[in-house]
Structure 1
Amino acid sequence: IRDIVSIGDSGRCIKELRQILKIKDGRVYIVNERQRWTDIIERNSLFSIGNFIPYNFSNLTDVPIPSESIDLVVCYMG
């Protein structure tokens, strides 16, 4: 596993997943409606975990991530 997409949150479990799955490199995409200052607390990092992609979940369209390029998708939406 190398490339990860986290949908609906700030990437809160990405650091732990990388440790557990021994992922040293690869791309991370964070897909959510907007970035918030509370994301820092939620993901336990002052710095971004990956590339943020703003997405309107009310208007479903394709996400600008290349097809067949993701190994793991994490979705923490309610």
Structure 2
Amino acid sequence: MARKFKVGDHVSWNSEAGRVSGTIIAVHTRDFDYKGHTHRASDADPQYEIKSDKTDHVAAHKGSALHHA
């Protein structure tokens, strides 16, 4: 089962640039378009939008890629 997070949770994940941390700003439980790509999401496997702590970059990830920071 995928990890569940909520808006406001502080999380970290691995990126090409190394370990990144940020705050969840949205939870998607239905498919959504993000940066020109359709991301698959459901109640059982949501996707999360996270704003980076160091930049204003926003990323979308599944719960399996995230860890509480």
Range class of TM-score, shorter chain: under 0.3
Would you tell me which structure has more helix in proportion to its own residues? 1
Query: Bigger radius of gyration, 1 or 2?
Result: 1
Would you tell me which structure has more strand in proportion to its own residues? 2
TM-score (norm 1): 0.23
